[in-house]
Structure 1
Amino acid sequence: MPPLASTAIDRRTLIRGAGALALAPALPAWARSGHAGLATAPGTLSGDTIALTVGERHFRTGGRSAHAVAVNGTLPAPLIRLREGQHVRLSVTNTLKEDTSIHWHGLLVPFAMDGVPGISFPGIRPGETFVYDFPVRQSGTYWYHSHSGMQEAMGLYGAIVIDPAAPDPVASEREYVLVLSDWSPMHPHAQLRRLKQQGGYFNMQRQTLAGLIAGRDQPLEERLHWGAMRMDPTDVSDVTGSTYHYLVNGHGTQENWTGLFTAGERVRLRLVNASAMTNFNVRLPGLAMTVVQADGQAVQPVETDELQIGIAETYDVIVRPVESRAHAIVAEAIDRSGLVRATLAPRIGMAGAIPPRRPRPVLTMKDMGMDMSGMGEGGMGDAVIDLSQPAGDPHAGHSMKMRDPANAPGVRMGPGVATISPMPVDRIADRPTGLEAEEHRVLTYAQLKSATRNPDTRAPSRTLDIHLTANMERYMWSFDGVKLSEGAEPIAFRHGERVRVTLVNDTMMPHPIHLHGHFFELVNGAGDHAPRKHTVNVLPGGKASFDLTADALGDWAFHCHMLMHMHSGMMRVVTVRHEGGGVEDAA
């Protein structure tokens, strides 16, 4: 028998080990490395009845741990796999000490099943169970997340794959779901407090005099314009790698999530950006990607070398490694403050090379809505910077505008509107922020074409402009200068009407704008094969238009999917009613 002291040490070790296990929720089986990459990944939840439990856990990555919100004890949440045409009942039990909810992002469901507290249902109280019950009307790659507080940033997110009723036209020998996310041990409410105190609190990549002299930063004249506006051209992500760890399926770079392949196989990667605040640039260095779906909808195949996936977007891509070596899957934060590397490899234990981080992007006058390319020697032309009121004045908006006072009809000017883009242009064909100068191919929205003819090809009967507005210095965000909490009027549509909506980005960062309950067709020159999406990332100082058929009765959330922008007011309610105002067919 071993000595008593030795036995006690072993017991303490066991206790410490048990405590460590309690700190970190187990990864769901589908998210672990090394499984076969089949459509039926281990641990997938499927069938007509699915049970989910939301609860408290801790999560550890990068040597730091913090409070988390998990589903069925895991982070990410379980992978849900459904089939087009089935009917599903998802019971969600709340074991938290606060209300929760789940929104089925991109799924066409009755509005009472959409999962947005205060809009479509009251939320799920502690100790209660809510049953989501709806038919599955589509196929593709989607995801789910909380719409309560900031639980999404704390781990309540998971992927949904819906198989088509007919044979899948996308051929592949293996398939992996890759959920991209950002994680910080700092509570999101604490992050928001810091941003309210200083808009660039997490930006550790500001311009410097040395950078200006070395030519790494803006030309002096342009920098002076930005300085006059109290804007920072390096502030493209409010929360950055200074606090975030970036993850693939819950794995950081050192944990090295690994998917297996055999040389020559077609591997389908279902990419989901479930981040709270991070747009990612995704590439597999040396390996081309063929885009086959965007937001779950089939598109005509497009081969590219890199794509930017906005928060809440999904892309399905096919890659075909022909060499039996490790290939890195790189998801780099848009501001280049960090990245996460995963690996495709012929066997476990291999790791793709971690590329060096590229120089951080510096925004230009075009990103301020001041494209000077067509203005000749006159430079600013009729555009002026109105400095009659300081940016920090609580009683007046500090704006950059055209001399025409009707520059932005419908925008409520005030302390929450720091800028109005003087000359916003349609940027749907532009390369995304930070990828403008890359020598390899980069996906743009203009390259996307629906694989099938759009279901509604009517011309819009009316147009609607919506401005994305902010005072970034004071961290105030809104649509048309009005926060949701300020009694913003709903955006009203008549059931079945066709409307062209133009989003005008009056801010200096991209915004992934999501409409619940609908798909819309991006106006990108593809005619009746325009890509159908539920989320569009609107570039800084630019415009993006989509045609919407308001075919889903009810009340729907419409918001920026940067979580803290939405939480700070960049959200509205869209109502779809019959001509007489009824929603009797919406349930």
Structure 2
Amino acid sequence: MTNFDRRRFLQGGAVLAGGLAFGGGLLPAWARSAAPTLPTLSGEEIALTIDHAKVRIDGKPGHAVAINGTVPGPLIRLKEGQNVRIKVTNKLDEDTSIHWHGLILPFQMDGVPGVSFPGIKPGETFVYEFPVVQSGTYWYHSHSGLQEQEGHYGAIIIDPKGEEPAPYDREHMVVLSDYSFLHPHTVMRKLKAQAGYFNKQKQTVGGLVAGKDQTFKERVEWSAMRMDPTDVLDVTGSTYTYLINGHGPKDNWTALFQPGERVRFRFVNAGAMTIFNVRFPGLKMSVVQADGLHVQPVTVEEFQISPAETYDVILEPKEDRAYALVAEAADRSGMGVATFAPRAGMKAEAPPLRERPLLTMRDMGMDMTGMEGMDHDMAMRDPVNAPGVKLTPGVQMISPMAVDRVGDAPQGLDKVDHRVLRYTDLVALEPNPDVRAPSREMEIHLTGNMERFMWAFDGEAFSPIKKPIPFRLNERVRIHLVNDSMMAHPIHLHGHFFEVLNGHPGRYPRKHTVNVPPGGKISFDFTADAPGDWAFHCHLLFHMHAGMFNVVTVRPIDGGAQ
């Protein structure tokens, strides 16, 4: 694909407010917001400093790795078509990096140590320089160690050259994240020692006597498989405080509106390990963008956002009252809370936490209909069901009946009494730029051993000697992601957008991250149009750190035959 075609492929995104121009004395909507805003940097020369910082979370002091002294780091606001030079200085006593998540750029600027560059040594400055060829809502974060968990992340908005197809009057940037007062290496050690360490919502004998949750027969079956149906998230509200723009629930971060306005919220999930369910009780949302690219507007009352995903929504509050902004952890062990109100100082009461969800046999990749009498342990480990998977100690189970779950309601939201966003609701606003049939297909299994907290692709954890996944420049490939574990995995491919196969051919949603439900599979097509070496990994930070990572190579780099 030519540079021109690649740029056109990724058009779509963020905006001049309501299609308004800067001329005529009119300011863009983002400049008219009266809510507390993130510090914002723009222009062709930007300077960032990575250093330790003290933070206060709900009034309690803590430690962070901060960017320019703040968590989240500054909002970086760019313009499609500009060039940018970002100077990053490392004041830590360890290496650091910045990955520009979802941005299309030369692979040497992608910011993954050991893959695209050597990293930034203590005391050194690295200059990222690249053309801005797209628009939309994106973000940036460390790809070094576990610094992302400590606060090393921030948001990016890229305004488009042209008009915005979803006009609005005001906008708010919302960065969701999770914070622990424990050092992330301590969190990792506890997970390795006891994978369910942070799960304080396990089933009890009292719950069984009261007729709650599973029946006795179901509990026996799950116990025989050594599986816990309450194990939805590895790290939970027992240690996490859930943040909205760096603020805990007690801080009452407030986004303002005037009744009758169209208000755009740009959501980024910068959480290390938390899948959030987002809603404004009493208001409907129109989803207009997914992962920075336009989609046909779809009205919902709740959406699930996994780490690394972004969603842009528009709300139209009519009443002169305060609403709660709720970002509830998928296991319902806690929530981030903010206020959406017509005046500062107002506070909306958040609803109580909902009942925590339980995993089912479907989440295990096991539809037990017609499987009576089958030995569960054998069903979970039969290697015939997963050719190509190495049966290492890191493979605890293989889903014998994994099914395409792209149309399922998000995990835990299948029984709510309002409309929730499903991947099948997403339809690209612009036609897909490459509709060639794939020349080949590939199946990649997401494997793990929850008891040992080991994670991998195809049973083989990442190591310096692991073979990368090779592609030819500009080839068209269909990838089937099969989740053989009982945990969801948001899978991110650097340097590319792919088309999620969701029943809308020609207008498949183009994303850079897709959340694969437990026991399920999701497929996507992509064009390998970015030469270089690119990271491919689960965006649950501790899963990536434990081995669910690989490198995608696209060749040739310097031209030549395909």
- For this structure pair, what is the TM-score category when the shorter chain's length is used for normalisation? over 0.9
Mapped pair 1:447 → 2:425: yes
Which TM-score applies when normalising by structure 2? 0.92
Mapped pair 1:248 → 2:244: yes
Match of 1:561 among 522, 533, 539: 539
1:183–1:40: structure 2 CA closer, same or farther, 3 Å change rule? closer
Aligned length: 531
8 Å CA contact 2:116, 2:534 repeated in 1: yes
Match of 1:230 among 218, 226, 229: 226
How far apart are the structure 2 equivalents of 1:433 and 1:68?
Answer: 31
Mapped pair 1:460 → 2:460: no
Aligned to 1:5: none
Mapped pair 1:520 → 2:533: no
Aligned to 2:363: 367
How far apart are the structure 2 equivalents of 1:371 and 1:206?
Answer: 23
Mapped pair 1:209 → 2:200: no
How far apart are the structure 2 equivalents of 1:500 and 1:147?
Answer: 27
Aligned to 2:371: 379
SS at structure 2 position matched to 1:400: helix
Query: What residue ranges of structure 2 are gaps of 5+ in the alignment?
Result: 1-29
Match of 2:63 among 46, 59, 67: 67
Mapped pair 1:296 → 2:292: yes
Match of 2:380 among 374, 397, 400: 400
Mapped pair 1:416 → 2:399: no
How far apart are the structure 1 equivalents of 2:92 and 2:225?
Answer: 44
Aligned to 2:279: 283
How far apart are the structure 2 equivalents of 1:449 and 1:94?
Answer: 41
SS at structure 2 position matched to 1:221: helix
8 Å CA contact 2:36, 2:255 repeated in 1: no
Match of 1:83 among 79, 85, 89: 79
Deviation at 1:354, TM superposition (A): 1.1
How far apart are the structure 2 equivalents of 1:258 and 1:584?
Answer: 52
How far apart are the structure 2 equivalents of 1:151 and 1:380?
Answer: 47
- Provide Cα deviations, 1:38-84, integer angstroms capped at 9, x if missing partner: 79967411111101011111222134322211111111100000011
Counterparts of 1:443-522 in structure 2 under 5 Å? 443-485=421-463, 487-522=465-500
Counterpart AA for 1:87: N
SS at structure 1 position matched to 2:356: coil
Aligned to 2:13: none
- Provide Cα deviations, 1:328-357, integer angstroms capped at 9, x if missing partner: 100000000000111111111101111000
8 Å CA contact 1:183, 1:247 repeated in 2: yes
Mapped pair 1:56 → 2:52: yes
Mapped pair 1:546 → 2:538: no
8 Å CA contact 1:142, 1:295 repeated in 2: yes
Query: What residue ranges of structure 1 are gaps of 5+ in the alignment?
Result: 1-33, 388-398
How far apart are the structure 2 equivalents of 1:362 and 1:39?
Answer: 38
Mapped pair 1:264 → 2:260: yes
Deviation at 1:169, TM superposition (A): 1.6
- Provide Cα deviations, 1:399-455, integer angstroms capped at 9, x if missing partner: 7145xx521011000210000001000000001111110010010001100000001
Deviation at 1:583, TM superposition (A): 4.4
- Provide Cα deviations, 1:469-513, integer angstroms capped at 9, x if missing partner: 000001000000000027321011111111110100011111110
How far apart are the structure 2 equivalents of 1:95 and 1:345?
Answer: 39
How far apart are the structure 1 equivalents of 2:223 and 2:464?
Answer: 30
How far apart are the structure 2 equivalents of 1:357 and 1:118?
Answer: 42
SS at structure 2 position matched to 1:100: coil
Deviation at 1:36, TM superposition (A): 4.4
- Provide Cα deviations, 1:143-200, integer angstroms capped at 9, x if missing partner: 0000001110001100000011101122111000000000011001000000100010
8 Å CA contact 1:283, 1:306 repeated in 2: yes
How far apart are the structure 2 equivalents of 1:536 and 1:218?
Answer: 30
SS at structure 2 position matched to 1:227: helix
How far apart are the structure 2 equivalents of 1:289 and 1:273?
Answer: 17
8 Å CA contact 1:384, 1:401 repeated in 2: no
How far apart are the structure 2 equivalents of 1:261 and 1:62?
Answer: 24
8 Å CA contact 1:401, 1:420 repeated in 2: yes
Taking every aligned residue pair, what percent have the same amino acid on both sides?
63
Aligned to 2:549: 571
Aligned to 2:135: 139
How far apart are the structure 2 equivalents of 1:63 and 1:86?
Answer: 40
How far apart are the structure 1 equivalents of 2:372 and 2:161?
Answer: 56
Mapped pair 1:307 → 2:299: no
8 Å CA contact 2:53, 2:66 repeated in 1: yes
- Provide Cα deviations, 1:14-59, integer angstroms capped at 9, x if missing partner: xxxxxxxxxxxxxxxxxxxx99427996741111110101111122
Aligned to 1:177: 173
SS at structure 2 position matched to 1:211: helix
8 Å CA contact 1:300, 1:448 repeated in 2: yes
How far apart are the structure 2 equivalents of 1:221 and 1:521?
Answer: 42
Aligned to 2:9: none
SS at structure 1 position matched to 2:165: coil
How far apart are the structure 1 equivalents of 2:392 and 2:36?
Answer: 53
SS at structure 1 position matched to 2:463: helix
Aligned to 1:11: none
Counterpart AA for 1:47: G
How far apart are the structure 2 equivalents of 1:554 and 1:239?
Answer: 34
SS at structure 1 position matched to 2:384: coil
Counterpart AA for 2:380: M
How far apart are the structure 1 equivalents of 2:524 and 2:249?
Answer: 37
How far apart are the structure 2 equivalents of 1:380 and 1:400?
Answer: 14
8 Å CA contact 2:35, 2:255 repeated in 1: no
Counterpart AA for 1:344: F
How far apart are the structure 1 equivalents of 2:64 and 2:173?
Answer: 22
8 Å CA contact 1:371, 1:423 repeated in 2: yes
8 Å CA contact 2:198, 2:238 repeated in 1: yes
1:38–1:298: structure 2 CA closer, same or farther, 3 Å change rule? farther
